[in-house]
């Protein structure tokens, strides 16, 4: 009897031990985020040391300027070892738990905000984390023309799963350049106020637009990264994101990604296109073969149709924005003074640059990233896709195919097939 019960106890102990081993193995990925994090930028084939700071942007790759769509570039990891679940049914699609294994890009979220924006940016961060970043833990850079206060830092750091960084914008990136006639600028603001143009009388809005057009990507903190994802206060993300959009950009040699496009108010940019034409004449070397001029103009560039990508959402290449081509473009526009003598927005400024200075295949429409910034929504058109992505947006609010959107034009100039059901959403 005594021998029998000792054997019994031994069996129970062995069973417990095996159960503990099984539990540890099956949960190890979830309970050791720092271990998974070490995959960032490593050469997973050879098991080399992390190379997270190594540039990963395709700008130095050997891909031709007018490369075909979906041009793949060399990576310092083996993509097939960590397949991305790009569509329902792809390997790993159902795995939304825990920290995602595989490589990380040298990328960051970036937000320009005031201290008073803290609760609205908190909502945005919560959405980005829940739908994507809790599995990827990318960093977040916050920029401000005033020092961030403790509340802002505490709240945002508590919400972001990656590292947070806080930057103070130098005065020279947030002030009138010396060549601007302040009296003339003041007069314009008065006129725009009377004409009831939104933000028409605001000085800070103009500094913001100029900063986003020409300076955010070369702030000291941003120099550590190759890709950015811009997030504004009060936005919503409506669907799960099953793969890493930064990695998608890198592997497919994309430089600029958008979700919503529309027409700009002409009152804010009456002479922008003249300024762009001057730049094109002075710098033909910066205009890409196979560009997306057809998105911007119906007459081969004579006039601007006002189409632009809505820049409050952007995923893009910082190395492209830091390129000589983009800097020459920004400096040429900046000299012409329209950020202050009119009210040029960073959305048309970025969009025109992308459409003219990149081959059109390097611009990507993220159909599967559902997004809201007042007053427009991008909600995936295809019913099956929305269900698979567990979206909570109302498809009737999808702006893509409505009259004021330029997304139909984007599809047409790229000969892209529109998603099932698009015609039902036109009105
Ligand atoms: N630090 C700082 N950030 C600003 C300032 N003005 C705007 N921003 C930020 O710049 C971004 C764009 O400003 P918004 O006020 O959202 O401009 P908008 O998207 O054109 O207009 P809304 O429809 O009001 O959202 C947001 O992330 C703001 O938080 C400012 O004066 N200082
Ligand atoms: Mg906004």
For the chain, the straight-line distance linking the first and the last C-alpha, in angstroms and rounded, comes to 82
Regarding the beta carbon of 311 and ligand 1, being less than 6 Å apart is answered no
pLDDT above 70: residue 356: yes
Q: Quick check: 349 and 370 in contact, CB under 8 A?
A: no
The residue whose C-alpha atom lies closest to atom 18 belonging to ligand 1 is: 312
Instruction: Look at residue 75 and give its three-state secondary structure.
Output: coil
**Catalytic-residue membership of 331:** no
Does residue 404 sit within a domain? no
HSE-up (13 A, CA, CB side) for residue 329: 31
Residue 180 lies in a domain: yes
290 within some domain: yes
Centre of ligand 1 to C-alpha 30, Å, is 37
Residue 73 lies in a domain: no
- pTM reported for the whole predicted model: 0.85
Q: What pLDDT, on the 0 to 100 scale, is given for residue 76?
A: 87
In angstroms, the CA 86 to CA 90 distance is 7
Q: Give, for ligand 1, the residue of 110, 113, 310 to mutate: max count of ligand atoms closer than 8 Å to Cβ.
A: 113
Position of tokens 């937000």?
111
Per-residue model confidence (pLDDT) at position 41: 27
**pLDDT of 85 above 60:** yes
141 in Cβ contact with 167 (< 8 Å) = yes
Domain span at residue 332 reads: 104-365
Do 277 and 333 contact (CB within 8 A), yes or no? no
Does 210 fall in a domain? yes
List, for residues 151-180, the tens digit of each pLDDT value: 999 999 999 999 999 999 999 999 999 999
Look up residue 417 and give its DSSP letter: P
Query: Minimum-distance ligand to the CA of 120?
Result: 1
Helix (H) or strand (E) holding 409: helix 407-413
- Say which residue, 375 or 34, is predicted with more confidence: 375
Residue 279's CATH number: 3.90.550.10
Would residue 162 count as lying in a domain?
yes
pLDDT tens for residues 280-302?
999 999 999 999 999 999 999 99
Q: How many domains does the chain have?
A: 1
3-state secondary structure 85-130: CCCCCCCCCCCCCCCCCCCCCCEEEEEECCHHHHHHHHHHHHHHHH
Assess whether the C-beta atom of 374 lies below 6 angstroms from ligand 1: yes
Which tokens in the block code for residue 374? 């007042």
- E-assigned strands of 269-393? 307-309, 314-317, 363-365, 371-373, 376-378
pLDDT of residue 290: 98
Asked whether the beta carbons of 412 and 305 are under 8 A apart, the reply is: no
Answer for the pair 240, 390: CB distance below 8 angstroms, yes or no. Answer: yes
Q: Which of 314, 342, 361, 362 is catalytic?
A: 314
Pocket test for ligand 1, best of 149, 156, 211, 312 (most atoms within 8 A of CB): 312
């Amino acid at each position: 009897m005594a021998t029998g019960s000792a054997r019994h106890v031994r069996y129970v102990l062995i069973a417990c031990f095996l159960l503990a081993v099984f539990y540890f193995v099956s949960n190890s990925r979830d309970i050791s985020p720092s271990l998974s994090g070490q995959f960032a930028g490593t050469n997973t084939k050879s098991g080399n040391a992390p190379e997270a700071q190594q540039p990963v942007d395709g700008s130095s790759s050997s891909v031709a300027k007018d490369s075909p769509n979906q041009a793949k570039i060399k990576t310092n990891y083996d993509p097939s070892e960590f397949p991305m679940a790009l569509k329902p049914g792809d390997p790993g699609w159902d795995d939304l738990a825990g920290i995602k294994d595989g490589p990380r890009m040298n990328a960051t979220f970036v937000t320009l905000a005031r201290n008073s924006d803290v609760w609205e940016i908190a909502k945005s961060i919560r959405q980005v984390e829940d739908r994507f970043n809790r599995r990827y833990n990318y960093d977040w850079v916050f920029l401000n023309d005033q020092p961030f206060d403790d509340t802002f830092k505490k709240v945002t750091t508590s919400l972001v799963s990656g590292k947070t960084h806080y930057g103070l914008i130098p005065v020279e990136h947030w002030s009138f350049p010396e060549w601007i006639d302040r009296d003339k600028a003041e007069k314009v603001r008065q006129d725009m106020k009377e004409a009831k143009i939104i933000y028409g009388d605001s000085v800070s809005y103009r500094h913001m637009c100029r900063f986003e057009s020409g300076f955010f990507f070369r702030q000291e903190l941003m120099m550590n990264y190759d890709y950015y994802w811009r997030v504004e206060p009060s936005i919503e993300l409506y669907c799960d994101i099953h793969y890493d959009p930064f990695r998608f950009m890198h592997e497919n040699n994309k430089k600029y990604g958008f979700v919503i496009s529309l027409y700009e108010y002409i009152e804010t940019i009456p002479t922008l296109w003249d300024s762009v034409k001057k730049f094109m004449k002075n710098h033909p070397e910066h205009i890409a073969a196979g560009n997306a001029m057809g998105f911007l103009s119906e007459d081969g560039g004579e006039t601007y149709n006002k189409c632009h990508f809505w820049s409050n959402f952007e995923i893009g290449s910082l190395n492209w924005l830091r390129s000589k081509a983009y800097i020459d473009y920004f400096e040429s526009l900046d000299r012409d003074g329209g950020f202050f003598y009119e009210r040029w927005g960073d959305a048309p400024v970025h969009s025109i640059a992308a459409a003219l200075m990149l081959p059109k295949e390097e611009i990507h429409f993220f159909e599967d990233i559902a997004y809201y910034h007042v007053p427009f929504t991008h909600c995936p058109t295809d019913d099956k896709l929305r269900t698979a992505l567990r979206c909570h947006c109302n498809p009737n609010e999808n702006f893509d195919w409505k009259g004021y959107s330029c997304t139909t034009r984007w599809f047409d100039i790229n000969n892209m097939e529109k998603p099932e059901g698009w015609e039902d959403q036109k009105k």
